[in-house]
Amino acid sequence: MRRLRSAAPAEARGMALAITTMAACALPLFFTSALALAIQRDLGLADEEIGLAIAAFWVLATLGSLPGGWLVDRIGPARGVHLAGACVGAGSLAIAAFADSFAAFAALLALTGLGNAIITPGMSAVVSRSLRAGRRGTTFGLQQSGPPLASVVAGIALPTAGAVLGWRWVFALGAVAAVAATGVVRDADADAGVVNRSTPPARDRRPPSRLLVLGGALASGAANGLLAYLVVFAVAAGLSTTAAGILLAFASVTCVATRIGLSMDASSRHAAANITICAGLLGAYQAVMTIGA
């Protein structure tokens, strides 16, 4: 009975941790996109170099995901989350203090990508262990809403803190946020909820995992290519930096709402139905981008 009474607060904490930790660790990427013009002016970077720096982030985040998962299995979810926060915090602080060239900026941003490679399996383990099966769809949706939420913060930071303090101070504040958000995760969070571990998962006909990886990679490449240059293109098209920041924030809010809304009943849908929905959304995105171009 005591475990049942503590379930609701534990699940609420798990949901809060899922979104805040993912958002905090994604801040360096979105700060780079939102503050690209200021970074370019100070470091003398071309548009292509901003794109390459963001690509370096994703290369480390992608290639490090599998080793990151192994590491989390070995040291435990909470320690994995703490390590991820340390990587993101150290990389962000080093960008603020030492980035003076394209090579330095790209290398340090890639370090924060390594932290993101660890935070995803770390927080996924916390969520999967601490929540009932019926809540996991919504909570994973919240977790994956963390990165676009970070984009909202970055969009707001562009006309506010970025204009007043400068982009280096924004990265320094991001370092504090990453360490603070991940530092509150405890070992108990991974076992705090009401979990029915004895119930085997339903058998679904799923596409081969390699196809899912390929599809996810192509989708991520398209979305992040747009993200990398959204502010730069918006300003080049005649928008002010403030309007560009608002545009970035608005697009990210839409993304957050969509992810949470579609995830609320994802646990009750057949796995193939969820994949079909994802494919439809990606197809619609590509069609809109093609027509708009």
CATH at 34: 1.20.1250.20
Q: Name which residue leads in pLDDT, 250 or 273.
A: 250
* Structural domains counted in the chain: 1
Listed residue (2, 124, 112) closest to 60, CA to CA: 112
In whole angstroms, give the CA distance from residue 88 to residue 192: 26
116-135: average pLDDT: 76
Residue at 111 is within a domain: yes
Both tokens of 280, joined, read 């439809």
The angle formed by the CA atoms of residues 171, 89 and 30, to the nearest 5 degrees, is 45
How high is the pLDDT of residue 3? Answer: 44
Listed residue (164, 94, 82) closest to 123, CA to CA: 82
Residue 5 reports pLDDT greater than 60: no
Residue at 198 is within a domain: no
Residue at 29 is within a domain: yes
Residue at 33 is within a domain: yes
Residue 9 reports pLDDT greater than 80: no
Handedness of CA 144, 288, 277, 65 (dihedral sign): negative
- pLDDT bracket for residue 132 (50, 70, 90): low
Answer for the pair 152, 257: CB distance below 8 angstroms, yes or no: no
* Amino acid residing at 42: D
In whole angstroms, give the CA distance from residue 101 to residue 122: 32
Query: What string of DSSP letters covers the chain?
Result: -HHHHTHHHHHHHHHHHHHHHHHHHHHHHHHHHHTHHHHHHHHT--HHHHHHHHHHHHHHHHHTHHHHHHHHHHH-HHHHHHHHHHHHHHHHHHHHHH--SHHHHHHHHHHHHHHHHHHHHHHHHHHHHHS-HHHHHHHHHHHHTHHHHHHHHHHHHTTTHHHHH-HHHHHHHHHHHHHHHHHT--GGGGG-S---TTSPPPP-----HHHHHHHHHHHHHHHHHHHHHHHHHHHHTT--HHHHHHHHHHHHHHHHHHHHHHHTTGGGS-HHHHHHHHHHHHHHHHHHHHHH-
How high is the pLDDT of residue 86? Answer: 96
Domain range for 181 is 2-192+207-292
- Residue 77's alpha-carbon distances to 69, 120, 222, 237, in angstroms, are 9, 10, 30, 45
Q: Lowest-pLDDT range, 92-106, 152-166, 198-212?
A: 198-212
Look up the pTM and report it. Answer: 0.74
Residue 272 reports pLDDT greater than 50: yes
Residue at 154 is within a domain: yes
How high is the pLDDT of residue 141? Answer: 65
Residue at 200 is within a domain: no
Residue at 129 is within a domain: yes
Residue at 108 is within a domain: yes
Percentage of residues in the chain having pLDDT higher than 90: 28
Residue 146 reports pLDDT greater than 70: no
